[in-house]
């Protein structure tokens, strides 16, 4: 397990060096922005947003679609930048970031008009049949997005696109570790025909940025990152009652039933647990396998894990790249060392590169004899490590799966899809997949978000798009010739009896009580037409 990197020369001006995560080579620099510049960006966004929100949705869509043309013309370049900035393979970058982003843009451009269409609300009671309501979706104004380093393109891209299509101005801050990706994402947005100031890219230190976004008055904040930071931001947002959407950590469980297709289940565990060097909040970290299929499952898993090729991607023959940061590398080491000290066993492990002098490479590892007293099973490891437990029943697996403060995603593997869904729906997590895992984030129509400490709010799909707007209802009185409502002043015994009559007519215990109530309504009804 390797963790050394060549020294990096930091420029002597205010810029963040964008470095290859493996070689340390400086790819480009990203200017650092000040708090005053963020304030100016928010003010510019607010000026541009009014004009943008007033445009017909079709016009906003037309102006956004050139982004896709730009991305298609630069697919290889985008994948290369993501791979170098994070340390993942270019195939990983293409399949989990760039291609899903193009799909998401297309989907939201096609669906945004329907998502934003006013909705008529039918009267809920005959006595209010003259009150017709319509629900509108109103953009927040200026939204802030703070995104992470593990999927630095795909995670913020969908949120930026939805935010803009919904009529907002957007301020984006990407992680300091992946500024090269942030800059090419900015270039993609510049291909759109947007009003000046509507979209801004900000490079600020994370702890400073969160406070600054909230203190300087963004109208909503979207954050993807750790539980710890999410709680800090939520507490800060409470001071101004700024709404927040938080997508936080995961410690996701995979349940393998006795009738599972083992080849598919094992391949799914390897993909969902180890790709991107395990740095996926929605990836498999805990695997619970029915005792009747445990041995053949483990045999297949060992073969597949030990055949993984780890290293620096030069010619698309590498399966697993590097861990993005030294800090995360140390976290993975600590979790595994804790497990081994408490009795866990390394059951399978891939080989490291022959000359891992640069980059934070960690050999994909399968641990057995694990339990929930070990950090690797209790917390988010965020590395290429799978902890596998044998269970005697799927009820036991379900109990273990729900034994976590996190609940982002989960999966069930079985040939009986109906039973698998029934079991999956009992997992306390926001996204459940059957016979698959770590792919629903790539489905633009599917809501994304978690239960418990995995966050609040949702992104993606109709539900996620709605997070970009506030609901506004307009109630129209369809009988303008009526002078007053039954319950308006001045009050009198007759007013009381009339209102009571409404309740009796609707919910009286028998026809006599209902008839009496209706009679009282008729007595009070004429006052509606009196000045």
Give the active site residues: 247
- The DSSP 8-state label assigned to residue 323 in this structure reads B
Name the residue among 459, 427, 454 with its Cα closest to residue 440. 459
- The DSSP 8-state label assigned to residue 351 in this structure reads B
Which residues pair with residue 477 across a beta bridge?
131
Cα-Cα-Cα-Cα dihedral sign, residues 413, 419, 425, 430 = positive
CB atoms within 10 A of CB 510: 7
Q: Tell me the C-alpha distance between 441 and 404, whole Å.
A: 21
| Residues 6+ away with beta carbon under 8 Å from 95 | none
Q: Tell me the C-alpha distance between 259 and 115, whole Å.
A: 40
Q: Tell me the C-alpha distance between 73 and 61, whole Å.
A: 20
Q: How far is CA 484 from CA 32, 145, 473, 479, in A?
A: 61, 48, 22, 10
Name the residue among 175, 402, 150 with its Cα closest to residue 283. 150
For the stretch 52-57, contacts whose Cβ atoms lie closer than 8 Å and that sit 24 or more positions apart, written own/partner, are 52/164, 52/167, 52/169, 52/194, 52/195, 52/198, 53/139, 53/167, 53/168, 57/112, 57/113, 57/116, 57/165
- The DSSP 8-state label assigned to residue 23 in this structure reads T
Q: Tell me the C-alpha distance between 410 and 424, whole Å.
A: 7
The side-by-side arrangement of strands in the sheet containing 409-413 is 345-349, 365-368, 385-391, 284-290, 252-256, 409-413, 431-434
3-state helix, strand, coil in the chain (%, to 5): 45, 20, 35
Of the chain, the end-to-end C-alpha distance in Å amounts to: 86
Name the residue among 213, 214, 186, 216 with its Cα closest to residue 199. 186
Q: Tell me the C-alpha distance between 16 and 28, whole Å.
A: 9
Which residues pair with residue 139 across a beta bridge?
469
């Amino acid at each position: 397990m390797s963790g050394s990197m060549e020294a990096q020369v930091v420029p002597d001006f205010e810029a963040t060096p964008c470095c290859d995560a493996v070689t340390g080579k400086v790819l480009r620099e990203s200017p650092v922005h000040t708090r005053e510049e963020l304030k100016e960006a928010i003010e510019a966004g607010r000026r541009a947003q009014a004009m943008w929100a007033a445009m017909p949705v079709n016009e906003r869509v037309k102006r956004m679609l050139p982004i896709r043309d730009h991305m298609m013309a630069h697919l290889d370049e985008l994948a290369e930048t993501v791979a170098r900035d994070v340390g993942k393979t270019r195939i990983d970058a293409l399949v989990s970031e760039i291609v899903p982003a193009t799909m998401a843009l297309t989907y939201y451009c096609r669906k945004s008009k329907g998502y934003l269409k006013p909705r008529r609300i039918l009267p809920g009671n005959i006595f209010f049949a003259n009150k017709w309501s319509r629900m509108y979706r109103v953009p927040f104004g200026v939204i802030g997005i703070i995104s992470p380093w593990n999927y630095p393109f795909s995670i913020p891209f969908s949120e930026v696109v939805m935010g803009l299509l919904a009529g907002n101005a957007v301020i984006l801050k990407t992680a300091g570790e992946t500024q090269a990706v942030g800059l090419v994402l900015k270039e993609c947005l510049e291909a759109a025909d947007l009003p000046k100031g509507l979209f801004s890219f900000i490079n600020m230190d994370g702890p400073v940025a969160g406070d600054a976004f909230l203190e300087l008055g963004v109208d909503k904040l979207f954050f993807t990152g750790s539980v710890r930071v999410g709680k800090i931001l939520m507490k800060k947002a409470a001071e101004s009652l700024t709404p927040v959407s938080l997508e936080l950590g995961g410690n996701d469980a995979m349940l393998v039933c006795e009738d599972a297709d083992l080849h598919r289940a094992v391949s799914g565990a390897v993909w969902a647990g180890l790709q991107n060097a395990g740095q996926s909040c929605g990836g498999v970290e805990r695997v619970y396998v029915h005792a009747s299929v445990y041995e053949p499952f483990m045999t297949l898993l060992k073969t597949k894990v030990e055949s993984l090729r780890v290293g620096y991607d030069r010619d698309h023959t590498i399966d697993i790249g590097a861990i993005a940061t030294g800090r995360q590398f140390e976290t993975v080491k600590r979790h595994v060392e804790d497990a081994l000290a408490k009795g866990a066993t390394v059951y399978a492990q891939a080989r490291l590169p022959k000359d891992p002098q640069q980059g934070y490479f960690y050999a994909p590892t399968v641990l057995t004899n694990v339990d929930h007293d070990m950090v690797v099973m209790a917390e988010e490891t965020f590395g290429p490590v799978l902890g596998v437990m044998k269970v005697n029943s799927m009820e036991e697996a379900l109990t273990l799966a729900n034994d976590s403060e996190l609940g982002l995603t989960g999966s069930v593997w079985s040939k009986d899809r109906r039973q698998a869904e029934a079991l999956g729906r009992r997992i306390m997590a926001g996204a459940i997949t059957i016979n698959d895992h770590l792919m629903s984030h790539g489905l633009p129509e599917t809501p994304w978000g978690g239960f418990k400490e995995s966050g609040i709010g949702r992104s993606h799909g109709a539900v996620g798009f709605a997070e970009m707007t506030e609901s506004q209802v307009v109630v129209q009185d369809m009988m303008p010739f009526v002078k007053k409502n039954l319950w308006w002043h001045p009050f009198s015994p007759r007013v009381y009896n009339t209102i009571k009559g409404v309740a009796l007519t609707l919910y009286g215990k028998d026809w006599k009580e209902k008839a009496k109530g209706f009679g009282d309504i008729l007595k009070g009804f004429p006052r509606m037409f009196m000045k």
